[in-house]
Structure 1
């Protein structure tokens, strides 16, 4: 015989009940079965709410009652023919009894645990009756038995303890001579030995089914719900979670104890002793394989970890003080106090120093627990032997579960490392000697990030998800988005990187999608997005609180650069082509590097120098390997190189600069490039990366521009001065031509000094044949004293700059 239990969602509508009927009819074709049903979805909560309102003399209890009545009558009318007036009359009679009970609660202004049990019992009694009547009308051999006549308990109302001797005898006796194909039992409800209505507490319908299955030594127990088994994590929070095919009883109990709501811990115990398999199935997808729980898989060679579970709304209480050390009895007194107050302790941890005991409880129990403990230890607190109980709120417990974790080294290390890299602070840790469960207490705000981080580390074939937020989607930013769109499939298949763009912003608008923006029509969406500010963008990134978050700055804006510190403090990586931050005052630069290390948030800016060329990465590798830079010579401005490669006595300097700007080689304000400030920032960054402390004002800038050029107060005015001073630029060109030289804007760093300026480069020099927008950097070091290490290639342009940013993002993914 099989025992099937259907939860509230499974019987929550006429459509779902029809699905339940189909399942029962198919099963009944081969062997008799017992079906345990919960109340219609949401009804138990409505019953409790109506009782609370009635107790508080709030006449809205009548409105809630009407909702309960309407829900049941609607389901009945949709499933039963109009000719079956008996069913409707019975239902109306039971509903009227419910109304009378609520009226009584209203009149006496009291709702005791005993009355609460009587009140909530209506849910299962009504749902089981409806399903039985539908089965009868469709010609099935079915009978309904009130579980209150079978399951006998003590008088501990709302969570009664079962008397298994009497209960098992009742169940065995009743089913010994029954020949019905289907027996319907209401779950959750029971009666005390004194004949008073009781309930079995949270998960009571599952428990009812398990009690019956164990008493009859059923072939198996099936729990039908709205998901296809127990998942590796909560699929509502972890989209990559998937059903676990098989679990041991111990693994299932650990997962269910720590919040996996598909199954409740008491369910497992009655069937465990008889090795009756539990099968978790999906009512809406009956063909799905679901999860099988049994002893058969206890020692099976499976994955190291089997699942992740969590409990929300936890408070951490700590009893500490020097007076506890070496004194027996503190733990006994503490937990006896909690037991008297009926406070359930969810997690316990104590250091070997015995200086403190830390334990987790539900936030609902904080007030009475704190009051009771401080009272119980009032004498020790007054004598300063111990401190008043310390309470931390807004926490959650996340547990990694698996029978085989004890057989593998480094599991806890992988767990804590994954959480640490995402700045998820662990408040407490508990791990039993069995090593089947590693529990961590973290902030409630970090639950989703923690679950996804752990799931990625243990269950996703080492795929790493990167969540990218981009500010600045102009020329370079647009190319970056397109490169990401083009390469996402390759990254996932070849590099195991799942790269998602979560947020995009320009100076006016911003858009977000925590599941990843579609990059097909992002421009249109951004145009219609919400108003953007830098602070609002940051707040949204923080609110999402996603693992492996990366902020990408594709601007030249100082205000954006000033936001880096806030991102790094949230353990959000920063990737920037914006040079302002790394060329700002030395204290700020050093602080950003410090924050990057402290919060384990990469701060990468390869494109600050040389666009997509690996200049900074190469320099860092030299330094890390123990080499020391003695001198740097470089042409670092693709825009200036483009300008002077195209300027001659047949062109006008103004026209060449205009062309450079139009083709994206200069900043929107070309004064930044032509003034030499941009090059000065780049050599400053290289000097700092080489280990030299200096600021921008320490760099000698030998400008080739006229005073009028430098004093221009707008871009338009600047271009006018270029026209006015054309003779100046022609004289410069003539001087270089007469010496058979090429003009290059050169940056130099030597012995702690740096300068930038326009130079006449003779034939044969490595800089002479530098063409177009190319950059070149020559590193002279202790290992390369005469023949320098040379890096050469395109140093400007939207595509190569975007590819440099993309490379930094991928570098974070590979870290």
Structure 2
């Protein structure tokens, strides 16, 4: 014999019921078929009863909805010739239901006893129609009322099963039952006196397990809308995978901690008889599903699943009067038990100074009141503090039979959560080490589940979620590079890089599954109006693990938001030099925030675009070296200008060419004023360990004051024409000496300066071509012959590649 159970979604409508019939008809052995109410009907019944008890006539509208759903099923499942008989039977049952609801309406209240009678109609109606459909399709089926099989006590609402009596009833019925298929309504039962009871929400699973054990079924099949038990909730973790084989104990732990595919008490009746359970998908019956047996013989991973319970509160009792006093725990738990509150999690300090329990949010008010009353004397005498309540929490649990034999799982779990700024409020781990549970903020559930799933199940593939601000020259190149290298990163570096949000000065757009980078321009154009506050608010709201904010702008307002990102454990990658060259205290604060919140703050492209200048400097400092002197040509745009400016060209035309080719900022005065180079040498000095402000940098300007004071590009270029003779004279003076003009930054003896210099032949700067940069580090280890870094230091491609490299660095942290 087999026992099959079909849940509410599996029998939600006529089409689904036809699928159920196809599945049942394939069995060659006698079969017990346990069915739930049509999907959503139980909630409708409870809502109707609640409205009736509040004297609200709206319960009749709900009753009409229930009637319509069942009448529609009849029309679609049966030939017209038998409609009237079926409708008459359903109508009769609904009339009885209406009488019960009218009673609640008239007296203005309800009881658990009445509730059990009302909600049972969902299963009674669905089982009747399904059994009749089986018969109409030629199956040898019979309907048996579950109230005549399963006997319970009179704890209405969540009755306890009398297994001895139940097994007798089941044996007696099946001994004389010759039908191949027996349809039984789930969830419903009765006392020995015949009063209707229910087995609690999820009770249809329990019904099936009770019957499977009582009939010694060869297997219990739970048919639902998913293809088994998953490594995590697939609605929250898209990468979750079905677990092929799992033990009874693992399944119980996962179902207890929120894996809704299986009702926790289901396992106990079949566990004693070692009847296998298989969880299958009604809508994809060809899928293997999950097999649950006594043991798994060490199959699969150490951690078999990650589960969670939401809407949890912590109740903490603590105080000096608890230490060494026997009976405190007993009184505490007795108090909780007496008010009917279920404890989900317990943790107690070894000092006995505090006891902490996790309970459902809905119970916290009654529980805290009861505990404060129970310890009224101790609280008044200040031996114990009033109970402390923390709400809006959740429990996340790792589950696996083999976890106890593997070291470091707890550390890996806590480290993963910590890296993603998920604060752990409480920890519980049983002696069996089959379960490690942590209490976290409810808002962090999705991030925690995804981060842990990535750490324990995804073959070390790490997902990075990018939010890109600025998509002009540099930003567009970065997006192009990310698209081009996506497969390589995933295959070779185990990094799955997704761009979740993009913004420019006009528009912004978010796509939670990742933006298609082959068409990002059109996607952005159809986005909403750009707003910086809304942009960061959305990133916080999404609360993704491994989030990275990428700033491709030169905007001071954007740079001012970095602290907001870092405080929320959102890493920052930027080519924007403003933040790191702002007041020293702000620069230092950003570095400290990055450490405090474990959110990398990387700005390699601030100096030298894609050249590894800052990275090399960091390695020198970390290894104990000390910078004595820095000489550098740090402006690719200025180097391009002075490499192309000669007696045959005009300064105006060369600068214009640099702007058109993207070597300068949109406002070329930023480059030509020397402020950009001053910021770069300041950053190098600070990264070398020196405390300098931008005002400490001596800037020897080569542009006329009139050029520096212009307020538009047009006015600026007009001044270059006006002072062309001065620029030609400067060039000629250098050329006559056999020198070239280079804009040089220098740091030595704690002081820094920038300015245009005449570089003689033989100097390291003399043959610097195009837009290249060069940096000479004179350190304690390189006192005479400097460490030299040289290469392209400007241009959208190389700057984007430097940002790209910083993103990969974060992925490898």
What is the TM-score when the length of structure 1 is the normalising length? 0.99
Counterpart in 1 of 2:13? 13
Residues 28-177 of structure 1 aligned to structure 2 (within 5 Å) = 30-84=28-82, 85-177=84-176
Which of 657, 675, 686 lines up with 1:659 in the alignment?
A: 657
Counterpart in 1 of 2:244? 245
- Find out whether 1:747 has 2:753 as its counterpart: no
Residues 705-784 of structure 1 aligned to structure 2 (within 5 Å) = 705-784=703-782
Alpha-carbon distance in structure 1 between the residues aligned to 2:78 and 2:526:
50
Counterpart in 2 of 1:254? 253
Where structure 1 has 5 or more consecutive residues not aligned to the other structure, the ranges are none
Q: CA RMSD in A?
A: 0.7
Answer with 218-227 or 710-719: which moved more.
Answer: 710-719
- Find out whether 1:680 has 2:681 as its counterpart: no
Alpha-carbon distance in structure 2 between the residues aligned to 1:520 and 1:422:
29
Counterpart in 1 of 2:210? 211
Residues 345-494 of structure 1 aligned to structure 2 (within 5 Å) = 345-494=343-492
Do 1:401 and 1:437's aligned partners in 2 also have CA atoms closer than 8 Å? yes
Alpha-carbon distance in structure 1 between the residues aligned to 2:457 and 2:338:
42
SS at match of 1:440: strand
Alpha-carbon distance, 1:177 to partner: 2.3
SS at match of 1:521: helix
Do 2:245 and 2:299's aligned partners in 1 also have CA atoms closer than 8 Å? no
Which of 581, 595, 598 lines up with 1:597 in the alignment?
A: 595
Alpha-carbon distance in structure 2 between the residues aligned to 1:552 and 1:486:
18
Do 2:248 and 2:295's aligned partners in 1 also have CA atoms closer than 8 Å? no
Alpha-carbon distance in structure 2 between the residues aligned to 1:445 and 1:543:
9
SS at match of 2:619: helix
SS at match of 2:576: coil
Alpha-carbon distance in structure 2 between the residues aligned to 1:98 and 1:573:
59
Alpha-carbon distance in structure 2 between the residues aligned to 1:194 and 1:623:
83
SS at match of 1:296: coil
Alpha-carbon distance in structure 2 between the residues aligned to 1:110 and 1:198:
19
Which of 535, 550, 572 lines up with 2:533 in the alignment?
A: 535
SS at match of 2:729: helix
Alpha-carbon distance in structure 1 between the residues aligned to 2:118 and 2:709:
84
Where structure 2 has 5 or more consecutive residues not aligned to the other structure, the ranges are none
Counterpart in 2 of 1:190? 189
Alpha-carbon distance in structure 2 between the residues aligned to 1:776 and 1:767:
7
Alpha-carbon distance in structure 2 between the residues aligned to 1:323 and 1:5:
52
Counterpart in 2 of 1:234? 233
SS at match of 1:349: strand
Alpha-carbon distance in structure 2 between the residues aligned to 1:172 and 1:786:
96
Deviation digits for residues 583-639 of structure 1 (CA, Å, limit 9, x no counterpart):
000000000000000000000000000000000000000100111111111000000
Do 1:683 and 1:747's aligned partners in 2 also have CA atoms closer than 8 Å? yes
- Find out whether 1:2 has 2:17 as its counterpart: no
Alpha-carbon distance, 1:301 to partner: 4.3
Counterpart in 1 of 2:292? 293
SS at match of 2:509: strand
SS at match of 1:83: helix
Do 1:349 and 1:429's aligned partners in 2 also have CA atoms closer than 8 Å? yes
What is the TM-score when the length of structure 2 is the normalising length? 0.99
Alpha-carbon distance, 1:715 to partner: 2.1
Answer with 509-518 or 81-90: which moved more.
Answer: 81-90
SS at match of 1:162: coil
Alpha-carbon distance in structure 1 between the residues aligned to 2:191 and 2:220:
25
Alpha-carbon distance in structure 2 between the residues aligned to 1:786 and 1:561:
38
Which of 802, 807, 810 lines up with 1:809 in the alignment?
A: 807
SS at match of 2:518: coil
Do 1:302 and 1:404's aligned partners in 2 also have CA atoms closer than 8 Å? no
Alpha-carbon distance in structure 2 between the residues aligned to 1:368 and 1:330:
19
Alpha-carbon distance in structure 2 between the residues aligned to 1:277 and 1:527:
55
Alpha-carbon distance in structure 2 between the residues aligned to 1:75 and 1:784:
85
How many residue pairs get aligned? The number is 812
Counterpart in 2 of 1:793? 791
Alpha-carbon distance in structure 2 between the residues aligned to 1:35 and 1:713:
82
Alpha-carbon distance, 1:464 to partner: 0.1
Counterpart in 2 of 1:633? 631
Deviation digits for residues 646-703 of structure 1 (CA, Å, limit 9, x no counterpart):
0011111011101100000000000000000000000000000000000000011111
Do 2:218 and 2:275's aligned partners in 1 also have CA atoms closer than 8 Å? yes
Deviation digits for residues 495-548 of structure 1 (CA, Å, limit 9, x no counterpart):
100000000000111000111011122111211210111111000000000000
Alpha-carbon distance, 1:366 to partner: 1.0
Do 1:11 and 1:41's aligned partners in 2 also have CA atoms closer than 8 Å? yes
Deviation digits for residues 325-373 of structure 1 (CA, Å, limit 9, x no counterpart):
0001111001100101000000000010111001100001011101101
Counterpart in 2 of 1:22? 22
Runs of 4 or more, structure 1, over 4 Å off, are: none
Do 1:39 and 1:127's aligned partners in 2 also have CA atoms closer than 8 Å? yes
